[in-house]
Structure 1
Amino acid sequence: MYHILLQDSSWATFIGRFHPAIVHFPIGFLLIASLLEIGRRWGKIAVSEGVITFILLCSAMGATFACVAGYLLSLSGGYDAGLLDNHMWKGIGVAAFAWAAWLVKSDMLQRLMPAGKIIYLPAILIATALTLSAGHDGGSLTHGEGYLTQYTPEPFRGLAGLPPVQAKPAAIKPITDIQQAIVYTDIVQPILEAKCTQCHSASKSKGDLRMDQLALLVKGGENGPAFVAGKGEESDMIKRCLLPENEDEHMPPKGKPQLTADQIALLTWWIDQGAPADKKVAQLTVSESIKSALASLGKTGPAGADKAEQPGMLSIKVPAANEQDIENLRKAGLMVNTLSQDQNLLEISAVNLPGFSDKQMELLQPVARQITWLKLGSTAITDAALPQIARFPNLSKLHLEYTDVTDKGIISLKPLAHLGYINIVNTKVGDKGLKAIAEMKALRSVYVWQSAVTDSAVSQMGRQKPNLLVMNGFNEAAVAQFVKAGDINDKKELKNK
């Protein structure tokens, strides 16, 4: 057992992860002991020396346990070596001086070494100072170097010799020309900076992996390469994103901002194309599903922006979905993203589950009220699934592209009072289906190219429904504008309800 704990193992990691909890005990006890000692010496507090002695003993024991757990946690790697070393020795110093303060304060040592009491005050003061310094290092290890002082205001910043606060970066501008965008620089890197580099950068390289530079991303970490060029779904960085959020290997960790379905799709596409460093979108092969994700970059900027920041969402609040129901969806291979924490609305995507079928639609029923964006494009669903979708009362966006749905099924969506956006590209939906859904009051945007809808029906619809935008041809700039217009109209319409 002793040998197991001295190396990186499940036991070592299990015990080591108690370090953040245990470390608060010596911090609290030392501060209390210092304050009580000051209050006692000033005559402000009536407290016996026995009480202070007991608190010091608790602080020394807590600091010792925290040191052991911290060492075991460090075996898992992924921390800046120099900062970790400083944190470790300061922590050991806290334990050593806490024990020294307790020994000197105890009756037993005072009888053996009466002169030892002269080191009592220095010991407790040094232990307290080291606690504060070690805590700062611990915060830097967890959140990145300079975490504590990053937002120090003036004039204290100048007095401490800290550089001026850097202005917050301006909002990412939309990509004006998607075809000329450099895939890594303009699309991939912003995603990584928004969702990955907090734990994988120069200040903190969890698992010895850095994602702030392409060369270091290619190099990989202690578990090997982060991705295999040409094999997106087989790449570790993609597989970890697709794991259930409650699993330890899932990335980003639970509680951190998660990648959206579009972001994962774009990262996978980039890797599938060989992970080029300097190629433009126009130089790569773009599938229909990726075209939609690329088009959205024209209105929201590079895919670092969260879905909750985008327009087209309902301005309502629903009860939070049951965690087990969400877990069941993820286990089935579906991607589930919370669009807004205060609204509890969900986006569910089958972008990586082409075999998703009508029978599996039952999995969505427990979260029917929470679903507002649903992506079932390129799956195996048919008309039989659409009556079930019609029972999602807050659905506002629906992707059915590249499926076998027809007019018969699409007509069953008419009860959806908030549906403002629907994609039926390359389906068997025709003029009859378009006419039926055009009667839906909230509908503002429809993709119909490569479907059975005729040009004459689109023209007629344009005259009859001037507020309904029907896109029956693909042009990257036009699609980006179409998506933007549709989303904004959706939002305005829904807020007026």
Structure 2
Amino acid sequence: MILTSLLQLSDWALFIGRMHPLLVHLPIGFLFIALFLEIAQRFGKVAVTEQTKSFVLLCAAIGATLSCVVGYLLASEGGYDEEALSQHQWQGIGVAVFAWLAWLVTSVRLPEKTGWLSLLYFPAFGLSVLLMFFAGHLGGTLTHGDGYLTQYTPNPIRTLVGMPPREESESGGEIKPLANVSEAVVYTDVVQPILATKCVQCHGSSKQKGDLRLDGFEHLKKGGENGPVFVAGKGAESGLVKVCLLPVEDDQHMPPKGKPQLTTAQIGLISWWIDQGAPTDKKVQELEKNPEIAAHLEALGTGGAGTTAGGPQAKPGVDLSKITVGEPDKNDVAALRKLNLIVSPVSKDQHIMEVSAINAPAFSDGDMPLLQKLSDQIVWLKIGGTEVTDKALSDVARLKHLNKLYLDRTAITDNGIDHLNTLPNLEYLNLIGTKVSDASVKKLADLKALRSVYLWQSAVSDSGIVQLRRLRPDLHVIGGLSAREVQDFLSAGKKDSLGTRTKAE
């Protein structure tokens, strides 16, 4: 008791406790071996001695006992649902107790077993295996969140066992596109899906690291052990945003290194929602938004009619589902991740991916050749806020399936835009805060696949934006002018043209 108390008050508890995921596989493995040996023996496939079964069960019992001890120490860290944790602990103890009992019955050291004693073997062994499954399921729930095991259950099996059909939104990290962004409720349709896919695994109903839950607004508002996680009206000062912007190697960075990270757009949208007072009932069209946020919001749309947060209706886009490429080399992916680039699948079945430099501001032209090894797979590239220059775009031009390109807040100029005309699938281009000027208006208009371009705080003038919209009425352009100002500008231009023509006649 004294030793346990001391351990719970020191780092030793967590150090030893975090061995639980490693040690817990020992009893699982040995119990499966024992189960397979029993089945094989019953069907006459192998001859198994009592000594062999006894040894395997002894290893299983020892492993289960060690797992219980280190699991208890891990639980002292807190942050788990108490009811689920209690059930998991007792199930784990049951695995150990019944494994010891099964071993005891098979032990060659016992005197010749009487009939009633031998009858204990199968119930004890069966209960140990059964409890192993239940404990494993709850362990996965505590670690990965509620529904982790059953999330991808195919609909035929769901129907067979009486589970509700799997919804499209259960996509394991992909956020369902919005049919109408303007009508979307910001918290329900924009913010909460981001938290659900990136944060609830560790901050949900079954697991609350730091006593923090993010699976509902009331929990979010309550905060965690360190107090509130957001300050309404102050996104940049809110802990929820700050921890996402820390370097990925920082212990306080969230999500932890190795977990799917929030994108620049997702962090920006959460911060924007907080800046607007963190409302729960306001729609996108009711809140103020700068061009960058409008760009992020538009990217959430399906591409159909009425999907954008403002602007012209876009033409049908490139169908990424038709892209067929080979599986990327794991070493090439690892090389990018060593530079702190986030490499995420866009579609696992097709092997296409997104590469983001949100955690790699030092990424530069010299690092670009590493992308060439994945030139077939990269469809979304986010190198905004990095040290890349026009030279990098010659490498970008070789990414044959590139669909979205983020170059915001980089040193890109008009010279770099020349390289983009070789990208037949480029639909989205973010040039916010770059040196691209009116000289690129014609070049951008010639990018036939382009559907959205963002020029806010670039060197493109208001008249250049108007000219681009005239050249490409189907192109969604976000720049310094508001939609109303652009309309007035265009209307004035038509009146001037009409007046001049009438006078000439």
- Normalized against structure 1, the TM-score is what? 0.72
Shift of 1:390: 2.7
Matches within 5 A, 1:152-191: 164-169=162-167, 172=176, 174=178, 176=180, 178=182, 181-191=184-194
Q: Quick one: which amino acid aligns to residue 76 of structure 1?
A: E
Tell me the matched-pair count: 454
Q: 1:269 aligns with which of 262, 268, 272?
A: 272
- Name the residue aligned to 2:500: none
- Name the residue aligned to 1:385: 389
SS at match of 2:200: coil
- Name the residue aligned to 1:494: none
Query: Do the aligned partners of residues 253 and 112 (structure 1) sit closer, same or farther apart at CA in structure 2, a change above 3 Å counting?
Result: same
- Name the residue aligned to 1:98: 99
- Name the residue aligned to 2:337: 326
Residues 1:434 and 2:445 aligned together: no
Q: 2:297 aligns with which of 281, 294, 297?
A: 294
Confirm or deny: 8 A CA contact 2:268 2:293 kept in the other structure. Answer: yes
Query: Do the aligned partners of residues 33 and 469 (structure 1) sit closer, same or farther apart at CA in structure 2, a change above 3 Å counting?
Result: closer
Q: For residues 140 and 34 of structure 1, what CA distance do their matches in structure 2 show?
A: 25
- Name the residue aligned to 2:130: 129
Confirm or deny: 8 A CA contact 1:246 1:254 kept in the other structure. Answer: yes
Q: For residues 64 and 75 of structure 2, what CA distance do their matches in structure 1 show?
A: 16
Shift of 1:293: 0.9
- Name the residue aligned to 1:422: 429
Q: Render the CA deviation track for 1:236-289: whole Å, top value 9, x for unaligned.
A: 433443456677655445665543321121012222334233344455442332
Shift of 1:447: 4.5
Q: Quick one: which amino acid aligns to residue 432 of structure 1?
A: A
* Farther off after superposition, 200-209 or 83-92: 200-209
SS at match of 1:221: coil
Q: For residues 410 and 293 of structure 1, what CA distance do their matches in structure 2 show?
A: 23
How much is the aligned-residue C-alpha RMSD, in angstroms? Answer: 4.6
Shift of 1:433: 2.5
Q: Quick one: which amino acid aligns to residue 390 of structure 2?
A: L
Query: Do the aligned partners of residues 110 and 153 (structure 1) sit closer, same or farther apart at CA in structure 2, a change above 3 Å counting?
Result: farther
Q: 2:241 aligns with which of 238, 243, 255?
A: 238
Q: Render the CA deviation track for 1:290-322: whole Å, top value 9, x for unaligned.
A: 12112333436899xxxxxx9676936484544
Query: Do the aligned partners of residues 365 and 61 (structure 1) sit closer, same or farther apart at CA in structure 2, a change above 3 Å counting?
Result: same
Q: For residues 99 and 468 of structure 2, what CA distance do their matches in structure 1 show?
A: 83
Q: For residues 308 and 71 of structure 2, what CA distance do their matches in structure 1 show?
A: 39
Residues 1:366 and 2:364 aligned together: no
Q: For residues 53 and 264 of structure 2, what CA distance do their matches in structure 1 show?
A: 56
Q: For residues 33 and 242 of structure 2, what CA distance do their matches in structure 1 show?
A: 47
> Taking every aligned residue pair, what percent have the same amino acid on both sides?
44
Q: 1:346 aligns with which of 329, 339, 354?
A: 354
Q: For residues 248 and 444 of structure 2, what CA distance do their matches in structure 1 show?
A: 36
Q: For residues 403 and 371 of structure 2, what CA distance do their matches in structure 1 show?
A: 15
Q: Quick one: which amino acid aligns to residue 167 of structure 1?
A: P
Residues 1:413 and 2:419 aligned together: yes
- Normalized against structure 2, the TM-score is what? 0.71
Shift of 1:61: 1.1
Confirm or deny: 8 A CA contact 1:339 1:346 kept in the other structure. Answer: yes
Q: Quick one: which amino acid aligns to residue 222 of structure 2?
A: K
Query: Do the aligned partners of residues 347 and 47 (structure 1) sit closer, same or farther apart at CA in structure 2, a change above 3 Å counting?
Result: closer
Q: Bigger relative contact order, structure 1 or 2, given CA contacts below 8 A and separation 6+?
A: 1
SS at match of 1:346: strand
Q: For residues 41 and 470 of structure 1, what CA distance do their matches in structure 2 show?
A: 72
- Name the residue aligned to 1:76: 77
Q: For residues 82 and 413 of structure 2, what CA distance do their matches in structure 1 show?
A: 60
Matches within 5 A, 1:448-463: 451-452=459-460, 455=463, 462=470
Query: Do the aligned partners of residues 431 and 21 (structure 1) sit closer, same or farther apart at CA in structure 2, a change above 3 Å counting?
Result: closer
Confirm or deny: 8 A CA contact 1:27 1:59 kept in the other structure. Answer: yes
- Name the residue aligned to 1:487: none
Query: Do the aligned partners of residues 156 and 268 (structure 1) sit closer, same or farther apart at CA in structure 2, a change above 3 Å counting?
Result: closer
Confirm or deny: 8 A CA contact 1:390 1:412 kept in the other structure. Answer: no
Confirm or deny: 8 A CA contact 2:356 2:381 kept in the other structure. Answer: yes
Confirm or deny: 8 A CA contact 1:241 1:259 kept in the other structure. Answer: yes
- Name the residue aligned to 2:206: 203
Residues 1:52 and 2:58 aligned together: no
Q: For residues 308 and 460 of structure 2, what CA distance do their matches in structure 1 show?
A: 33
Confirm or deny: 8 A CA contact 1:197 1:212 kept in the other structure. Answer: yes
SS at match of 1:201: coil
Confirm or deny: 8 A CA contact 1:411 1:436 kept in the other structure. Answer: yes
- Name the residue aligned to 2:23: 22
5+ residue gaps, structure 1, are: 304-309, 480-497
Q: For residues 469 and 184 of structure 2, what CA distance do their matches in structure 1 show?
A: 34
Q: For residues 153 and 424 of structure 1, what CA distance do their matches in structure 2 show?
A: 43
Confirm or deny: 8 A CA contact 1:90 1:133 kept in the other structure. Answer: yes
Q: For residues 374 and 237 of structure 1, what CA distance do their matches in structure 2 show?
A: 25
